[in-house]
Amino acid sequence: MVVGIIPARYAATRLPGKPLIDLNGQTMVERVWRAAAASAAVDRVIVATDDQRIVDACASFGAEACMTDPDLPAGTDRCEAVVRALRLQPDIVINIQGDEPLLHPSILTQLVHALRGSNADVSTPVSRLLFADELDDAAVVKVARAADGHAVYFSRSPIPFSRDVDRAAWLQTRPYWRHIGIYAYTLQALRRHVSLPPSPLERAESLEQLRLLEAGARFACVETDHVLLSVDTPADADRVRAYLREHGL
């Protein structure tokens, strides 16, 4: 069984009420839920939230929602709390970011197939960096990959460092990969993540995926060329609205 869980906090610092903002006729949480529910590989989709307003909104479009402790530190902890509260026993749990309104169902399907077809503990999507200014943008998380496609390291810094190559030519000399923060966990890996304390590298980079990586877990990276625009600010929301209008979505 595959369960997709969408963490959706109401009290976002930069955009309060973010899951309920209108994006051309649908709230953001509805757009993410509909994409997740459309994946052929996902058996059940649950919104994990800390606010009754989100629960009520989910009920209006037929989504299942589960209340979780507002003091949980991160989305992964919220996912594990839902699994525990509902006494679920899935073989795979997907942590689906609630601020990815352009999510395509096929991404989740690919993550499930990649996890089942490998010895990885987690699968996660990546896409090619296309613009040089993204290399030094700390909000764009980069990942260095081994020959088999598994993650070697995640960082807010540009990795790898291309020594003796002009910085402007880095993207032309080798592929650089952006990490997209969606994770398909084996149930064991999810439980292991929440049982571990934050690791030194996780604290240094402020990237929770480094906790498991530093503990020896294997991350299978799944390449995608789907456009994803995460929403953290009002300007991000305006960009998504413009994209949706342009593409008739």
Summary mean pLDDT of the chain: 96
Q: Is the pTM of this model over 0.85?
A: yes
Architecture of the domain delimited by 2-246: Alpha-Beta Complex (3.90)
Q: Return the pLDDT at 48.
A: 98
3-class DSSP string for the chain? CEEEEEEECCCCCCCCCHHHCEECCEEHHHHHHHHHHCCCCCCEEEEEECCHHHHHHHHHCCCEEEECCCCCCCHHHHHHHHHHHCCCCCCEEEECCCCCCCCCHHHHHHHHHHHHCCCCCEEEEEEECCCHHHCCCCCCCEEEECCCCEEEEEECCCCCCCCCCCHHHHHHHCCCEEECCCEEEEHHHHHHHHHCCCCHHHHHHCCCHHHHHHCCCCEEEEECCCCCCCCCCHHHHHHHHHHHHHCCC
Rounded to the nearest angstrom, the gap between the alpha carbon of residue 136 and the centroid of all alpha carbons in its chain is 21
Q: What is the pLDDT of residues 177-224, one digit of tens each?
A: 999 999 999 999 999 999 999 999 999 999 999 999 999 999 999 999
Domain ranges, ordered by start, for the chain: 2-246
Is the pLDDT at 159 greater than 90? The verdict is yes
Label residue 237 by pLDDT band (50, 70, 90): very high
Contact 47, 66 (CB under 8 A): yes
Distance of alpha carbon 26 from alpha carbon 24, whole angstroms: 6
Is the pLDDT at 171 greater than 90? The verdict is yes
Report, in angstroms and rounded to the nearest whole number, the Rg of the chain calculated over CA atoms.
18
Is the pLDDT at 82 greater than 90? The verdict is yes
Contact 243, 102 (CB under 8 A): yes
Q: Return the pLDDT at 122.
A: 98
Q: What is the pLDDT of residues 21-67, one digit of tens each?
A: 999 999 999 999 999 999 999 999 999 999 999 999 999 999 999 99
